Structure 1
Amino acid sequence: MGVDHLGDWCYSPEHGELCRVIETQTLWGETVCRVWLPGKDAVVRVPAARLRPVQEASVGTVDGIAYLAAAARVADALTQDVLLAPIESSVIPLPHQIRALSRAVSNDRVRYLLADEVGLGKTIEAGLIMRELKLRGLVRRTLVIAPKGLVTQWVAEMRTHFGEEFRLLIPSDFSAYRRIAQEDNLWQSHPQVVCPMDSVKPLDGRRGWSREQVAEYNRERFEDLISAGWDLVIVDEAHRLGGSTDQVARYKLGQGLAEAAPYLLLLSATPHQGKTDAFHRLISLVDAQAFPDVSSVTKERVQPYVIRTEKRRAIDAEGKPLFKPRRTELAPVSWEDRHRDQRLLYEAVTEYVREGYNQAMREKRSYIGFLMILMQRLVVSSTRAIRTTLERRLEALEAPQEQLTLFPMVSEEEWADLDGQEQMDTLLKTRLEALTNERAEVKLLLEAAKRCESQGPDAKAEALLDWIYRLQAEKGDPDLKVLVFTEFVPTQEMLYEFLTERGFEVVCLNGSMDLEERKRVQDTFAKDARILISTDAGGEGLNLQFCHVVINYDIPWNPMRLEQRIGRVDRIGQTHTVRAINFVFEDSVEHRVCEVLEEKLAVIFEEFGIDKTGDVLDSAQAGQIFDDLYVEAILNPDVVETKVDEVLKSIQEQARESRQSVSVLGSVEDLDPGEAQRLLAHPLPHWVERMTVSYLQAHGGKAERKNGAWDLTWPGGEQLSNVVFTSKEAAERPLSRHVTLENPKVRGLAMRLPPFAPGQPVPVITLPGLAQEIMGFWSLWRISISTADWNRRRIMPLFLADDGRVFAPTARHIWDQLVVTKPTILRHLDVETSHQAFEQLLEPAERQGKTIYDELVQAHRERLAREREKGEYAFAARRRAIERIGLPQVRNHRLSLLEQEEERFHEQLERRAQILPEMAPLLLVRVEGGTHG
């Protein structure tokens, strides 16, 4: 073809799209054009002879029109904050989860603290946000950091609810991974990774290690992790990153993770535990500029970064309360005459603990003190638990003296996260040094424990059996499922044998089991088994809504542990009142503490309007308070009441602080139960299907319907078989391939829409059911603004009737019809008439598009205003800090540097304030209503 003018539009068959000539050069008889391909936003060189007139572009076909109409609808939905993840997911989100997702993606900077109360499904919310970002093409690589006990739950939930495969990477296994993976940086070997929090925090040093060993450890675990190129980082139980100071390893880990990805989600039910400095460290990870110092932690500043729902406000899709009531009771177990030796064993161990603890404290050997306290918890758990531990302790005491040590190799943070069994294993493996006369004491206690075991079942085991039968009778359900919790594996083993011998089908869970074993146990409990016995570590991450009875066979001293146990069944989807029964020996120290505590805690919680312990006591400080209380009660049984009163005063203060600190997280709006139904009914998947199929049929590919699914062939020859587009079809046909906007090729069809070129012949169409009087030109226009760092666009339909009037509802109606119904092409207008039609539409398009343009500009200005306010606040805080410096030379130098930085910040804002508007035509047809033969 001849190219007459620069700026001419033409068609490039080689690229399958319209292009615009921006330069021509004739050399040695060959004319070559540089052309701009808007669909790819690229400039290429093409021989002029290969360019065709615009009339040859395929938009004038039925499939070409259907593709553009559907693709523009998809592109517009992506700019209108339509939520893709719920539409494309197998999860049916609850109203509060929809609200969380909607808030999270309403902002460019997806960096939030998800602070829903316990049990509201923050994992699901994080999964929805991840899926949303993936479907929008913004995220490919995701890292999840969670406490050790929750990592397997993350892998399972992402697979079950979202079909997302995450790889669990544990740094201690890296030598084994290296034999399989070739990467220098193992964190890059998988696009989606889960890893335990404490396995990747940086070390300052370790006893017995050289500086080089520490550096190598930090490089492999921390530095490689941070530099592995993540798009999204999710941290569960994120309040642990706050640390007690900004020098704590977990906080340093948090700082690294905050800088490792543009998108960040911190999950915590209790982010503000009454300590503003720790909360400041946590919230500053989300946005360091917005929170430069502790004084910046105000309700107004924090609220935009926090997404929170309270349990009492949570509703289901019908608008009913999401959670059932719960009933908790203390069940004292009495020692009968036949249990006399067991009672004597309890008293002897308590005396051993009392003396051993006092001696350990005098000698400043705190870990021996921990061991003594664990002995007390073991003796109230079971005879077998204390017997096996005494055997292991005696073995350590009889080892050569040089094999014994003073301290276990575990940090305070890690120690607090261990359950009773894990603490016991840590201490016994460390082979701690003996106390005076300890070997003789342990031998005597061990003989007493063996004697007790030989006499028959423990008193508590018999009480458990009675309770199971009683509950069956009360509920009228012989197959009633019961979840039994114990702190210790030997007690678990004893109960398994005891109940199995009496005809019950029993399964067990503890912290040593891997993901597959855990899943197998949960499945068996859901189907056939009637009793599940779990340790605290085994119970982490369990979802057991199908069971509503929990028996706490032994009671952890920290009430929060108890709360977490009951939370395994008191979850979304629970249909019964939850029943929790807490066993405790009558007339024991533990009984006296529990009795007084329970009664008085209830009064405090009522006074503050708190539902349960977990709403105020989920903190390391609370755990320490209760440990100290029980220790004091064991050492000085006569002062139990006084000590409980002291603790209650402290809790009262914590409750007051908790209420105040929670208010910093912001108010919670009422939820709309209809939001989920509206989302699930959204036609987006059908638009994606229409767009993809029509594109292939219009551009030389193939789309064949076979047995309710599609076989697709792309113009380049790539094939996809057995394809479906909706999550409903995917659920009904598990072997099919579910194609969504996450597929880059499919998403590209919507995001790279070719423009309509003046001079393209305009098709004349009609649509079924269109009123006879509808006569005029219908068009689609992309209105966009671009700045130095921001692009926003909207799609506008326009209908100009033959009488010169513009009808917005008719424009929208025709667009609706085109994405569900194939038009009939009656003819094409000639080039001259097509040109005139385009010119005629320019002025009304500009007039109508101005409203959309103004909205985009306003949104951009508001965004810049927020950035300006945040930046100025941060500079002011830094200035105040510098002005406190005593040395005038240092102070003035730093103020000068700050002033230069602030000038650069304002210059950058000015550049970003410059807006480039664009209005591009995408599709133009003449519409003629009525019947056409």
Structure 2
Amino acid sequence: MEHKVDRVNDDANDAYRTGSWAFSQEHREPVRILESQTIWNHTSYLVWRPSVEAVAWITADQLSPVDQPRAKSFENLLYRVAAARVVEGLAEDVLLAPLEAGVIPLPHQLVALSKAMSGDKVRYLFADEVGLGKTIEAGLVIRELKLRGLVKRVLVVAPKGLVTQWVQEMRTHFHEDFQMLSPSDFSAYRHLVGDDNIWRRYDQVVCPVDSVKPLEKRRGWNRERIEKHNQERIGDLIAAGWDLIIVDEAHRLGGSSDTVARYKLGKALADAAPYLLLLSATPHQGKTESFHRLMSLLDQDAFPDIGSIKHENVAPFVVRTEKRNAINDRGEALFMPRVTRLVPVQWQDKHQLQKELYEAVTEYVRQGYNQAMRENRQYLGFLMILMQRLVTSSTRAIASALQRRQLILQSTTVTEDDLNEDSGDLFDSDSQEQMEELLASRIAGLHNEREEVKLLLEAAKRCQAQGTDARAETLLDLLYKTQKEENDPELKFLIFTEFVPTQQMLAELLTTHGFKTVCLNGSLDLESRQRVQKEFSKEARILVSTDAGGEGLNLQFAHVVINYDLPWNPMRIEQRIGRVDRIGQKHVVKAFNLIFADSVELRVHEVLEAKLKTIHAEFGVDKTGDVLDSAESGADFEKVFARAIVNPDDIEQNVDKLIMQVRERAEYEQSGKSLYDHSPLDALLASKYVNHPMPYWIERMATSYLQAEGGKVEKKLFAYDLTWPDGEQMDDICFFGREAQDKGLNHISLENPKLRTLIERLPRTIAGEPISKVKIKGLSSQIHGYWSLWKIALRSHEETQWGSGGGHVRILPLFRNSDGRTFLPTARTIWESLLQADTKVEETGTIDGSASSEVFDQLTADAEKHGENLFRELHTKHQEGLHHEREKGRYAFHVRRQALNRIGLPEVRQFRIKKLDEEEQAWTAALQQREHVFPELQPICILFVEAFDG
């Protein structure tokens, strides 16, 4: 439509008719004329800008004919050539995150990333066995999604003991900063954000799972207080607008039913973000109902009932690698062998006082525990058992605890069971945490307990005055002996203890004997932990750590672990050894477990080890951790030890019951593995990304664009100083992630909005535009013709803007020789040549006017012919996706309708069925709308190419 008021510029209007193309000098791109108007001698045009799929008004003096000879800089052509290569790489599923991560991913980690990125939505369960780096896999997914511009806000929900590890690994390996948040600390943040939703303040957050699970009730709390508590935790958390949510140890969310707090939390998290990653080494555990609830978090329609838990449904959502199948990039087994040895601590005559203290505390524990259980005082029973572990650890540890217990018993303000709601599952905590919580709870004492504690404390003080503990002397002998056997005077040792007082004692003892020693425990912040680890990797020879301090450590440079005192949960021992038995370990791992000779604990360990070895042989594994899960099995093992202390005569019977449960769990977990795919790994997969050219393509694209569009590119020795056309300056820029990390430069990637714009707004060539003529050195002398690049896309009416590529876009290179024949391989050869920095290219002029238009028409016909198969592939993939969605939805509606038909009340049944019908109709209509697609064929650039004859 044309508006002509006081028309005086007929020539201009004739030049730019509705539907024709012109060149916008303002936007530096071809535009299509939609409408013109001349008012008071001023002509303007409404034009369509294809690069941004938007319209704009432009004055006549800002337009020029597309066929007007206009030098298109060679840098502009190189920008198009490189940008198209980046888009093709993304369309061919080239992964970006491995190219810049601080760690070179292993084959199984790349498989996880590749599968996660293979669909339109990232909603997967990563179920690799313990120690295979699921955190690394999740970090790769985070980076990949951010690099592709798909996510900004990320939430990680993990067990309390793992949150620090998440923050540390994301920073170390991926340069991603996560804020550790827990609602219990919110009062400290209020002065920063007032009463606003604190979760919104940070784009990347890690929080402990139990700090945000909904609370049903709590003693002394009314409904209003509970609702406020839940709103600040789960309510505000869900409302914070996350793009990606990751749940570590996700099997815990399955719960025993769909009413437990952790499952409710899982359901809320699953609905709160489009992208969801669940991490668990043992997701099935033989509990199909719980596993079904877990899988339904990923896709409610795919798993509407327990009958949907079968291989063909589950496998597409799960990535699992077993340790025995894991390999490195050379195809070698990923883990070194391990040697574990029990080291009995012998009582000598000089240790008589310590032995008497041990026996006295054991009797105190036995009597106190039995009385506490008779009186139904569970927490006091926990405290009694804790005293046994303390006396086993060290004289200082039991003395410290007895002193604190004595102060409580002397107080007049002791209370009964003054523990918070989340403390019921104390076996999930490590021993130091148990001690702090139980001793802080001020639990009232038993009859005569004050007198007993007083006598025991006096005995402990006499032991301390006498000298070094028997266990500590055994440790020193072991250090010297192992150092001699290894023939390494600088051999490093990782020593674990359950308690901080024991840690302090060991640090003093070892330092006195000339060992440079550092310590880690749960009280250290992230910066302090990193400093200690660095010291241990360099000058320090011994690291003494508690269980809480050891969480998240990667200490492959050491290979000797000494468990100074043994947790009763064997998975905690596995986790300790796992600090050095990790990917990258180059030595046989040695683990020494110290334990008192002639003790109840030793008898239980011996019986357990013998019976667990039978299970290991039966299931073809070599580590307890391969058949056990800490969360599910730990409490059962600790209870066996507790029962043995209280009733030593029933050890065999109690252990046999436990072993039956372990075997049953292992069998269930083995049967659950049939639900997953187990494809062999390709060692070459990792090496593919070591020298992948994608960062170079991005560098070529960015620098060519800036040189073409008025920016500045200053090349330095290892970096660039870049100035963008809008004036923004970026200094010390490097396009290669690992090189930037090594040299302390500023890394830039497709995560940067400016770089993303360069591929999202690929320029297009218009019929009649001048075609540049070039000669390229190194080509065959027979090459003489037109080379072009075309974007082929599958579009739908509901989409308004295409992104950078992916499943719906392909790039087609074409070469039409002067004799009219089309050669596709030659087209790709020319493309690769243009991308090479050392390729010599000479510009020899342009083809203009009608000749240019004629060539454009011929090449368009070629592109339509050769691009049709590419479009058919896109269309077929789109249809397959719709078919899968349709089948999944129909099954889900069928299951829901069956459930509604079982409702007894006719009125309620009919009402709900009517609502379900309406929902199904809306779903069907939305699916049908997605079926309406159409092709797009866009020319990116055209060149006349011939061989360089110089």
Shorter-normalised TM-score: what interval?
Answer: over 0.9
2:459 is equivalent to residue 448 of structure 1: yes
2:934 is equivalent to residue 916 of structure 1: yes
Alignment of 1:407-418 (within 5 A): 407-411=418-422, 415-418=426-429
**Alignment correspondent of 1:811:** 827
**Alignment correspondent of 1:95:** 107
Contact in 1 for aligned 2:16/2:33 (Cα 8 Å): no
Flag structure 1 segments of 5+ consecutive residues without an equivalent. none
**Alignment correspondent of 1:194:** 206
Contact in 2 for aligned 1:136/1:742 (Cα 8 Å): yes
Q: Greater CA deviation, 919-928 or 1-10? A: 1-10
2:749 is equivalent to residue 737 of structure 1: no
Q: How many angstroms apart in 2 are the aligned matches of 1:593 and 1:366?
A: 23
Q: How many angstroms apart in 1 are the aligned matches of 2:884 and 2:424?
A: 37
**Alignment correspondent of 2:9:** none
2:854 is equivalent to residue 836 of structure 1: yes
Question: Given the alignment, which residue of 218, 225, 237 partners 1:206?
Answer: 218
Q: How many angstroms apart in 1 are the aligned matches of 2:677 and 2:755?
A: 40
Question: Given the alignment, which residue of 545, 558, 561 partners 2:556?
Answer: 545
Residue 87 to residue 789, structure 1, CA distance change in 2 (3 Å): farther
Question: Given the alignment, which residue of 561, 567, 571 partners 2:582?
Answer: 571
**Alignment correspondent of 1:633:** 644
Q: How many angstroms apart in 2 are the aligned matches of 1:395 and 1:408?
A: 18
**Alignment correspondent of 1:518:** 529
**Alignment correspondent of 2:894:** 876
**Alignment correspondent of 1:712:** 722
Contact in 2 for aligned 1:11/1:54 (Cα 8 Å): yes
Question: Given the alignment, which residue of 457, 470, 482 partners 2:481?
Answer: 470
- The alpha-carbon deviation at position 636 of structure 1 amounts to 1.8
- The alpha-carbon deviation at position 789 of structure 1 amounts to 5.7
2:594 is equivalent to residue 583 of structure 1: yes
2:219 is equivalent to residue 219 of structure 1: no
- The alpha-carbon deviation at position 468 of structure 1 amounts to 0.8
- Matched residue count: 929
2:788 is equivalent to residue 779 of structure 1: yes
**Alignment correspondent of 2:86:** 74
**Alignment correspondent of 2:471:** 460
**Alignment correspondent of 1:906:** 924
**Alignment correspondent of 1:406:** 417
- The alpha-carbon deviation at position 272 of structure 1 amounts to 1.8
2:845 is equivalent to residue 852 of structure 1: no
**Alignment correspondent of 2:278:** 266
Letter in 2 for 1:806: T
1:180 is paired with a residue whose SS is helix
- The alpha-carbon deviation at position 516 of structure 1 amounts to 1.4
1:109 is paired with a residue whose SS is coil
Identity rate, percent: 56
**Alignment correspondent of 1:177:** 189
2:910 is equivalent to residue 892 of structure 1: yes
- The alpha-carbon deviation at position 257 of structure 1 amounts to 1.7
- The alpha-carbon deviation at position 10 of structure 1 amounts to 0.8
Question: Given the alignment, which residue of 716, 727, 737 partners 2:737?
Answer: 727
- The alpha-carbon deviation at position 728 of structure 1 amounts to 4.7
Superposition TM-score, scaled by structure 1 size: 0.97
Q: How many angstroms apart in 2 are the aligned matches of 1:677 and 1:269?
A: 26
Residue 183 to residue 642, structure 1, CA distance change in 2 (3 Å): closer
Q: How many angstroms apart in 2 are the aligned matches of 1:706 and 1:930?
A: 30
Residue 856 to residue 17, structure 1, CA distance change in 2 (3 Å): same
Residue 515 to residue 413, structure 1, CA distance change in 2 (3 Å): farther
Q: How many angstroms apart in 1 are the aligned matches of 2:713 and 2:77?
A: 16
Q: How many angstroms apart in 1 are the aligned matches of 2:194 and 2:68?
A: 50
Q: How many angstroms apart in 2 are the aligned matches of 1:461 and 1:558?
A: 22
Letter in 2 for 1:756: T
Question: Given the alignment, which residue of 689, 693, 699 partners 1:689?
Answer: 699
2:587 is equivalent to residue 596 of structure 1: no
- The alpha-carbon deviation at position 310 of structure 1 amounts to 0.9
Q: Greater CA deviation, 674-683 or 425-434? A: 674-683
Contact in 2 for aligned 1:59/1:65 (Cα 8 Å): no
Residue 57 to residue 37, structure 1, CA distance change in 2 (3 Å): farther
2:689 is equivalent to residue 679 of structure 1: yes
Residue 636 to residue 230, structure 1, CA distance change in 2 (3 Å): same
TM-superposition CA deviations, 1:565-624 (whole Å, max 9, x none): 111111011111111111111111111111111011101210121222112221444223
2:510 is equivalent to residue 499 of structure 1: yes
Q: How many angstroms apart in 2 are the aligned matches of 1:907 and 1:604?
A: 55
2:18 is paired with a residue whose SS is coil
Residue 4 to residue 503, structure 1, CA distance change in 2 (3 Å): closer
Contact in 1 for aligned 2:69/2:848 (Cα 8 Å): no
Question: Given the alignment, which residue of 391, 394, 401 partners 2:403?
Answer: 391
Contact in 2 for aligned 1:62/1:822 (Cα 8 Å): no
Residue 740 to residue 55, structure 1, CA distance change in 2 (3 Å): farther
**Alignment correspondent of 2:8:** none
2:233 is equivalent to residue 233 of structure 1: no
Superposition TM-score, scaled by structure 2 size: 0.95
2:759 is equivalent to residue 750 of structure 1: yes
2:627 is paired with a residue whose SS is helix
Contact in 1 for aligned 2:214/2:230 (Cα 8 Å): yes
Q: How many angstroms apart in 1 are the aligned matches of 2:627 and 2:343?
A: 24
Letter in 2 for 1:636: N
Residue 682 to residue 338, structure 1, CA distance change in 2 (3 Å): same
**Alignment correspondent of 2:772:** 763
Residue 438 to residue 57, structure 1, CA distance change in 2 (3 Å): farther
**Alignment correspondent of 2:3:** none
Letter in 2 for 1:587: D
Q: How many angstroms apart in 1 are the aligned matches of 2:482 and 2:758?
A: 61
2:915 is paired with a residue whose SS is helix
Contact in 1 for aligned 2:428/2:634 (Cα 8 Å): no
**Alignment correspondent of 1:702:** 712
Q: How many angstroms apart in 1 are the aligned matches of 2:877 and 2:921?
A: 24
**Alignment correspondent of 1:802:** 818
Residue 865 to residue 329, structure 1, CA distance change in 2 (3 Å): same
Instruction: Output the aligned Cα RMSD.
Output: 1.8
2:326 is equivalent to residue 310 of structure 1: no
Contact in 1 for aligned 2:100/2:737 (Cα 8 Å): yes
2:179 is equivalent to residue 167 of structure 1: yes
- The alpha-carbon deviation at position 4 of structure 1 amounts to 3.8
**Alignment correspondent of 1:291:** 303
TM-superposition CA deviations, 1:306-326 (whole Å, max 9, x none): 111111111111111110011
Q: How many angstroms apart in 1 are the aligned matches of 2:402 and 2:739?
A: 60
Contact in 1 for aligned 2:16/2:22 (Cα 8 Å): no
2:248 is equivalent to residue 248 of structure 1: no
Flag structure 2 segments of 5+ consecutive residues without an equivalent. 1-11, 803-807
1:600 is paired with a residue whose SS is helix
Q: Greater CA deviation, 137-146 or 573-582? A: 137-146
2:357 is equivalent to residue 345 of structure 1: yes
1:517 is paired with a residue whose SS is helix
**Alignment correspondent of 1:823:** 841
Q: Greater CA deviation, 709-718 or 407-416? A: 407-416
Q: How many angstroms apart in 1 are the aligned matches of 2:26 and 2:948?
A: 39
Question: Given the alignment, which residue of 334, 337, 342 partners 2:346?
Answer: 334
1:375 is paired with a residue whose SS is helix
2:257 is paired with a residue whose SS is coil
Residue 59 to residue 92, structure 1, CA distance change in 2 (3 Å): farther
- The alpha-carbon deviation at position 837 of structure 1 amounts to 0.6
Residue 56 to residue 747, structure 1, CA distance change in 2 (3 Å): farther
TM-superposition CA deviations, 1:708-732 (whole Å, max 9, x none): 4322222222222222222354145
Contact in 1 for aligned 2:788/2:813 (Cα 8 Å): yes
Residue 621 to residue 730, structure 1, CA distance change in 2 (3 Å): closer
Letter in 2 for 1:655: A
Letter in 2 for 1:465: L
Residue 878 to residue 571, structure 1, CA distance change in 2 (3 Å): same
Q: Greater CA deviation, 552-561 or 494-503? A: 494-503
Q: Greater CA deviation, 592-601 or 242-251? A: 242-251
